Amino acid sequence: MLLIMKSIFFFIICTTSLMSLNVVGDECEVEYFDMSQELIGAWQSSITTPDQGEMKAVMIMADGYLSTSVFDPDRKLFYGTTGGAYKIVGNTISQTVEFDTRDSTRVGQTIVLPFSLMDNKLLLGAEKISWSRIDYGTPGALAGPWLITGRKRNGEISSRIPGARKTMKILSGTRFQWIAYNTDTGEFFGTGGGTYTTVNGKYIENIDFFSRDGSRVGAKLEFDYTLELEKGEWHHSGLSSKGSPIYEVWTLRSILDK
C-alpha cells in the first residue's frame, strides 16, 4: 500500500496510445495517434493513506500541466499535493515536478512512466490504480494552467513576472486548484481547491480542501470575472476566503512560457 501511495504522490502515472494496423500487401504498418487531448480534464480516485485512512484523490490535467491532490472533504482534511509540467512521449508521460508536499526533494526531477486509457478509465502506475473521469475540460470557461501576475491595490494594478516563487491556479471544466510554491527551494506555501462554475460573468468556487485552514472547507466564494483573450489574461474581483476585497490578474502559462 505504501508503494501505491508513493505512486500517486510522485505522480507515477500509466496510459497507452491508440494505434491502428494498416495491412499493405504482406506487411503490417502500425500507426500511433496522439493521446494528449484524451487526458485533458479532471479525474478522481480513492486511496488509503497510512495515517488518515481512505481519502479522495483528484487530478487535473490542462495544457501541459497537472496537479494531484489527496483530501477528505467530509473530515475537512488535506493530505498532500504534487504536480508540474508534463508531456506525452509515445505511450509515456514525462513529468517535471514543480511541487510535492510529501517529498520536496522530488522538485526538479523528471519522472517518465507509461500510462493506459481504457473505457474512459485511466490506469496509473505499475499498480494500475484506476481513475474515473470527472470532466473533459468543459463546461467552465477557464480551463487551463494560470499564474498570478497582478493585483489591484489602491485602485492601481501592480504587475509582476513570476519567478521561482509562483502561485498557479489550474482548472479543468469543473475543478480548480491553486498552489503557492518555490521551484528553486522546493518550498510549499499553501493550496486549496474544489469545484467551480462560470455563469453570466460570475466565477464561483466551492472549497473542498484548504491546506492552511480546514474550517474553510464548504465555503462558497463568488467573483466577477472577465477574460482578455488577446493577452491570455483572466481578471477577477470579489472577497477572499477571509472576507477581504481582492482583485487579481491571472495569465495563462502558455503565454508566459513563450
Whether the pLDDT of residue 208 is over 50: the answer is yes
Q: Which domain holds residue 178?
A: 144-256
Q: Is residue 139 part of a domain?
A: no
- Structural domains of the chain, count: 2
Contact 236, 228 (CB under 8 A): no
Pull the grid cell for residue 185: 527551494
**Residue 9 has what pLDDT?**
55
Decide which of 116, 134, 152 is a domain's last residue. Answer: 134
Decide which of 134, 165, 191 is a domain's last residue. Answer: 134
Sequence-separated (6 or more) residues with CB below 8 Å from residue 46: 54, 55, 56, 57
Whether the pLDDT of residue 24 is over 50: the answer is no
Query: Considering only 29-33, 85-89, 159-163, 208-212, which range has the smallest mean pLDDT?
Result: 29-33
| pLDDT tens-place string over residues 26-52 | 454 544 456 778 899 999 999 999 999
Q: Tell me which amino acid residue 228 is.
A: E
93 or 42, higher pLDDT: 42
Whether the pLDDT of residue 147 is over 60: the answer is yes
Q: Answer yes or no: do 167 and 195 share one domain.
A: yes
Q: Answer yes or no: do 91 and 155 share one domain.
A: no
Q: Answer yes or no: do 123 and 192 share one domain.
A: no
Closest CA to 99 of 183, 12, 193: 183
Q: Is residue 36 part of a domain?
A: yes
**Residue 95 has what pLDDT?**
92
Q: What CATH number does the domain containing 155 carry?
A: 2.40.128.490
Contact 69, 26 (CB under 8 A): no
Q: Answer yes or no: do 119 and 182 share one domain.
A: no
Q: Answer yes or no: do 7 and 126 share one domain.
A: yes
